[in-house]
Amino acid sequence: METAESHVQLAEELSGEFTVYLPDRRGRGASGPHGAGYRLRKEVEDLEALITATDAHALFGLSSGAIICLQAALELPTVRKVAIYEPPLSINGSLATDWLPRFDREIEAGNLAEALVIATKATQMFGHALPGWLLKPLVRLMLGDMLRLVPTFHYDVELLIETTDQAQRFAGIEADVLLMGGGRSPAYLKTALDELERLLPDAQRVEFATLNHGGSGNRNRGGNPPLVARELRRFFASTQ
């Protein structure tokens, strides 16, 4: 449910010290469709193309984007620093994905609001305690045009499935790592960060007590860009 526009305010906070690139991932914003055979490999290839074109060496990723950044840091020696905000890695069943077929059926039927209710209740992103009959009209009211991004949930879940109980792979990352999370986020996200901290003992860790999974996004999405940017600025400073 994110496009490049979702993090414009964070980019603005960092732009005094850094050149910041905000890519639209496949299926989002100005980018084309996901294409056949979508896998984590394709996302890393896209990111590698951007890194090659810009000579960037530092990455920031949120949620499924954080998984992509972790994999890129593992594969691409040009990545020197990677900051990730709450990658939704499933650790020993901490995050179920068996709801995806129900989600896909609603998408196929054109029921975007119903599909989003299924996804948000399963991932506990917001309103998971509300009954579906009440959550659905709230989703329509709150998101409006953002409903067009609901189908991207399928591809994010594909990344979750591909990396289920595979966190061990990231133990080989040689780049500097900053682990970030919100104190008000679902427990499974903290579980993933705990596991990564165990696997990467030299990683830095920051928790923002008052933020949730949208903490790095624009203010109208519940984020606090200045707070997150302060930690990113400190972490990325030595890349210049």
Helix axes 112-123, 152-162, angle to 10 degrees: 30
Residues in Cβ contact with 55 at an 8 Å cutoff, skipping those fewer than 6 apart: none
Check: CB of residue 57 under 8 Å from CB of residue 78. yes
Query: Tens digits of per-residue pLDDT, 43-59?
Result: 999 999 999 999 999 99
Question: Tens-of-pLDDT digits for all 240 residues of the chain?
Answer: 889 999 999 999 999 999 999 999 999 988 999 999 999 999 999 999 999 999 999 999 999 999 999 999 999 999 999 999 999 999 999 999 999 999 999 999 999 888 988 998 899 876 445 555 555 665 655 566 678 899 999 999 999 999 999 999 999 999 999 999 999 999 999 999 999 999 999 999 999 999 999 999 999 888 999 999 999 999 999 744
Query: Tens digits of per-residue pLDDT, 112-128?
Result: 888 988 998 899 876 44
* pLDDT on residue 137: 61
What is this structure's pTM?
0.92
CA distance 53 to 77: 15
* pLDDT on residue 101: 97
Helix axes 152-162, 40-54, angle to 10 degrees: 100
* pLDDT on residue 127: 43
* pLDDT on residue 240: 45
Other CB atoms within 10 Å distance of the CB of residue 114: 20
Kindly report each contact of residues 17-20 with a partner whose C-beta sits within 8 Å and lies 24 or more positions away, as own/partner.
Answer: 17/233, 17/237, 17/240, 18/58, 18/236, 18/240, 19/54, 19/56
CA distance 108 to 116: 13
